[in-house]
Structure 1
């Protein structure tokens, strides 16, 4: 694979990624499906609430979005290595489109709606793992972390706009039409990936094609990660950073109430972390690979220390600024990704990235749930501040030997 000019001209990094054949289609597909998925979560939550009048049933939409990652990302991870990544990506998109389209069936029972959502949740980590494995083939070692950074930037930008756009569109066209748009977004993503991205080879194509064999090889992938101590520490570090810093989202509404602000002001906190992440990714992407490597420890620590400021009970705008600083630290992955890539045998990369992505989502979900539980007994600012202290200690322990 040819070396990019990124070695000598770091500022051209993101542009170099976009010049690689097929990369524009990859990122366009990700943007389309991300916005569609986030808007659909809003639509499905509102649809279920309108039909049941139950806040619990509506909240289960988010639970069903997070829950399958832990299972689907581990049990099915070997599929990302068994087949050509492009084939896996297109199949995942089309299956997701079918599931979302199934939600449009009139009078479909609520458990069936949530069941279809669970299926899309099982598919998501496999899609993300196969996409990362594909990037590792299509991009050289220097551009790979920038490619993943651009995906994260698109994701966080979609978070900022997706929920807001979803709320507006639900009011304008109704939840069923918005679900239709989401189904179409997966089809568009499949077309972009299927026709405009280069094919990459399967990394481990041999073996039985049975569910038992898939589960067995997925287990081998987990053992490979866990037995490799440097790799294990790196993966745990990529989980710990967002796992601790995500508590701000879990306690956003409670904190704004404690600060004496309207509940709607919680949007400042939700947006703050996402905006900080986008800015951090864009700034760090302009640096050289060696500089990004040296910044790993400062960035992982910087993702946690701002949370300690919540002990002081900052105003909502100041709290949003602290969360933005915390989010900027997530750019540490640009330094960590090359280390993970070099520490992983090519035949395990699909499984590794699938497990990494599923673990990240699971840890964030657990962090939000735990912080919400603690926030019912303690002041939200105290919980966030204590999490900052704990998170700083944990990430320093994991990063000290990298």
Structure 2
């Protein structure tokens, strides 16, 4: 029997979803491969962290420029160009590992090129999926999109771990390069005839200043971005540096670690499936509560628990963080004006990832100073404490879901609206929402995202 796609899933939605699935298959395995390529070349924990940091540093440096450019140029062209750069950098990384004796500086340089591509891709890509469907179907569409992408991450992580163990990390990096090439080709066929032409801006600096005003005028926006500046940093340190080391010392190598990451992906699929039905009234309250389980994987690695228990913990964390990801993107889409979307997104990504290079670079020295167990417990505690602090912000607790996106960018009245939503008072339509912090649940092009 022939299966028909839903009426709301048009050409652009289908192409964007297919491209995300393809890159998910390649990138989830490549993230593991990069760490084990460094270890196979004789690198230490500090070296693994330095290569991870080398990818994130240019990402942080160029994000604001990428956001401003994406609000000026056709976003799909920016995405295709970024995919091309990622394809070249990963292809060269694969060739280096497969044919020679890779040096640390070479691997760091190629990782930096990949981060540069992501700096331009991320702001352009934010909101593209939700913009391709009508408002009434946006929640379900984004949940199905996440299901496809995270399903690819399950297979990619499990297959990547198995391939690394069988043939080495170089071939997994080569697969990722091919995936970026195919994804860029799919995104090149997006139909943008219905997108209105962009008005000329007043210059790059003026555009960035305008985006900054959008961010700082919303206290719950910058408070959550500050929260994720630390949360993403410690999650990156735990999963990019400590995780492979714990796997190598206690779990049996890359295979069990790849399985644990695949379980996280399976949890995100289940979380996305839940969000095709669940429509929470208060988006950020539900989303923030679902960040608490991100503290559990670091704690499990600190013990360390057996591979089976770690897999279960990762599965549960995946469910929770996917609920966060969907509710957060819904808030972003309904409140941030389309013409300023990429600029706000670039500040969001910048704040969320600014501390990742420092955390990954220092992960090895911190382990040497206090021990791996203490470092992992510290990661877990920071996630829990900062999430509790964000829930003390009134606007985070009372942002309300609505069906129509905001028409203007004016954030005036935010505090008054939040007060009107408090218990015992009449509810209002909604609050201006933040751009989504880079969530660890979205490894389309980088992890944590």
Normalised TM-score (structure 2): 0.68
CA shift for structure 1 position 192: 1.0
Gap runs ≥5 in structure 1: 1-14
1:340-390 alpha-carbon deviations (Å, 9 max, x no partner): 233322221012233334544456666677787376276467436534541
3-state secondary structure, aligned to 1:67: helix
2:317 aligned residue: 326
Question: What is the rounded CA distance, in whole Å, between the counterparts of 2:371 and 2:194 in structure 1?
Answer: 49
Pair 1:176–1:313, CA change in 2 (3 A): closer
Are 1:102 and 1:116, in contact at CA under 8 Å, matched by a contact in 2? Answer: yes
CA shift for structure 1 position 69: 2.7
Instruction: Pick one of 62, 76, 80 that aligns with 2:70.
Output: 80
Question: What is the rounded CA distance, in whole Å, between the counterparts of 2:51 and 2:334 in structure 1?
Answer: 38
Question: What is the rounded CA distance, in whole Å, between the counterparts of 2:7 and 2:247 in structure 1?
Answer: 40
Residue 93, structure 1, aligned to residue 93, structure 2? no
1:336 aligned residue: 328
1:349 aligned residue: 341
Are 2:229 and 2:352, in contact at CA under 8 Å, matched by a contact in 1? Answer: yes
* 1:275-294 superposed matches below 5 A: 275-287=266-278, 291-294=279-282
CA shift for structure 1 position 284: 1.8
Question: What is the rounded CA distance, in whole Å, between the counterparts of 1:157 and 1:365 in structure 2?
Answer: 28
Which range moved further: 243-252 or 328-337?
243-252
1:73-128 alpha-carbon deviations (Å, 9 max, x no partner): 22332111111112111222222223334444776865344323212212214212
Normalised TM-score (structure 1): 0.74
Instruction: Pick one of 221, 236, 239 that aligns with 2:211.
Output: 221
Are 2:84 and 2:180, in contact at CA under 8 Å, matched by a contact in 1? Answer: yes
Higher helix proportion (structure 1 or 2) = 1
Which range moved further: 218-227 or 74-83?
218-227
1:187 aligned residue: 181
Pair 1:271–1:87, CA change in 2 (3 A): closer
Alignment root-mean-square deviation, CA: 4.1
1:386 aligned residue: 381
Question: What is the rounded CA distance, in whole Å, between the counterparts of 1:324 and 1:156 in structure 2?
Answer: 12
Pair 1:168–1:369, CA change in 2 (3 A): same
CA shift for structure 1 position 179: 4.0
CA shift for structure 1 position 227: 2.5
Instruction: Pick one of 53, 59, 77 that aligns with 2:42.
Output: 53
Residue 161, structure 1, aligned to residue 155, structure 2? yes
1:249-279 alpha-carbon deviations (Å, 9 max, x no partner): 4655687899x86677555654444333331
1:31 aligned residue: 21
Residue 400, structure 1, aligned to residue 390, structure 2? no
Are 1:84 and 1:202, in contact at CA under 8 Å, matched by a contact in 2? Answer: no
Pair 1:95–1:307, CA change in 2 (3 A): closer
Equivalent residue pairs, number: 379
2:265 aligned residue: 274
1:304 aligned residue: 292
